Structure 1
Amino acid sequence: MPVSGSPRVSDFTVIPPRSGAAFRLPAGKTLTVVDPEGHQVADLLAYSADDVREVISNGRTFDYEETIALTAGHRLWSNRSRAMLSITEDTVGRHDFLLTPCSEATFRHFYADKPVHRGCFGNLAEALEPFGIGPDDIPTAFNLFMNVPVDGSSGKLRVLPPTSKPGDRIELRAEIDCIIGLTACSAYDSNGGSFKPIHYAIT
């Protein structure tokens, strides 16, 4: 998995299955997110560390990058039209920026025959609370490794298992001082019916 200049295995922090974390990512630092076992989604949020009302925006990002297929060479933009993160490496090339974090309501809507879980929304809300970020401040996440094909004629969405393999990764360089929320996703369809950890490192 590691390549020249990449974090060592000992540098990584583990996010256990169906949980989340939040942390600071200073400008110029690189966040590496790894799917260690494959087929696992990670929801990512970014806020300005100087003012958490400035937050990652899928609409601004689609507008300025002129694509919904975001990968290496693209940037993720804020609601104030500032570049927040640049994707510098991506071994998967398939992510989603259309769907909101799964929540208790998601489970009641799609998984009526399965136990209700607070989902990524609840995990992010808990992790981000110490930074003064509340549930109503959580926007659409950049869903790493999530596979959401869109039919070209009807516009219909499907949620399929991720294409990521064990050890696949994405690297994002902070363009401003950020607060990051990151999960190991909890939704059944997003992860092909099983739940695994996510690893991350800051270099």
Structure 2
Amino acid sequence: MSDVERIPPRSGTAFKVPAGATLTVIDPEGCQVADLLAFSSEDVNEVISSGRTLDYAETIALTTGHVLYSNRSRPMLTIIDDTVGCHDFLLTPCSVDTFLHFYPDKPVHRGCFGNLAEALEPYGVAPDRIPVAFNCFMNVPVDAQTGKLSVLPPVSKPGDRISFQAEMDLVIGLTACSAYASNGGSFRPIDYQIEFLGSDDIPIGAPSNA
């Protein structure tokens, strides 16, 4: 098992996770979103897919037991533990354009998109290859009558977590989200930990903080 790593507020990182390992994303202080991306280590053109996942799950309420699929319909991550049960797989990572659109009176930030683009560049992932992220702890209710989306503060409490089992060798991108509405107007860190198959297993690649 690796040490718990911390992603500072409004930043991101990328690292490799081997098949069979467990990745746990932790909200240490509560009310903080983490954007998660996954790419196949063998071919980064194979990437986590919101469309495939929601199609096969037949729900947008993804939690323990659900599988996150790639654009090639292969399992990438299985949710094996979830203390929150409220996440989003509809909205794209926040970006400069997000801030210009939704927060014209606030300082512009490069957002999760910019953080992910920088962190994933060493792994051969170009910005145009960044898809919709699985937004851990993000609270996006959908109105049953109108279909309108709302972005409300996360319901996650300090220490809440979600754990995934890697179904293939993966490159993971992970952030502490930068958008005001997503995080209740303030910004906190995100922790993560990787549990390997056995004590003799060696991590594939070192974390690269951005």
TM-score by length of 2: 0.92
SS at match of 1:34: strand
For 2:201, the equivalent position in structure 1 comes to none
CA–CA separation in structure 1 for the residues paired with 2:33 and 2:163: 15
The amino acid that maps onto 1:140 is V
Superposition map of 1:26-175 within 5 A: 26-175=18-167
Deviations 1:166-191 (A, max 9, x none): 00000000000000000000000000
The amino acid that maps onto 1:51 is D
CA–CA separation in structure 2 for the residues paired with 1:17 and 1:134: 23
SS at match of 2:97: helix
Name stretches of at least 5 consecutive residues in structure 2 with no aligned partner: 196-210
Deviation, 1:109, is: 0.3
Runs of 4+ in 1 over 6 A off after TM superposition: none
For 2:205, the equivalent position in structure 1 comes to none
Count of aligned pairs between the two proteins: 195
Name stretches of at least 5 consecutive residues in structure 1 with no aligned partner: 1-6
Deviation, 1:65, is: 1.1
Deviations 1:20-68 (A, max 9, x none): 0000010000001100000000000000000000000000001111111
Out of 168, 171, 178, the position equivalent to 1:176 is 168
Aligned-pair Cα RMSD in Å: 0.8
CA–CA separation in structure 1 for the residues paired with 2:145 and 2:49: 25
CA–CA separation in structure 2 for the residues paired with 1:83 and 1:39: 29
For 1:4, the equivalent position in structure 2 comes to none
TM-score by length of 1: 0.95
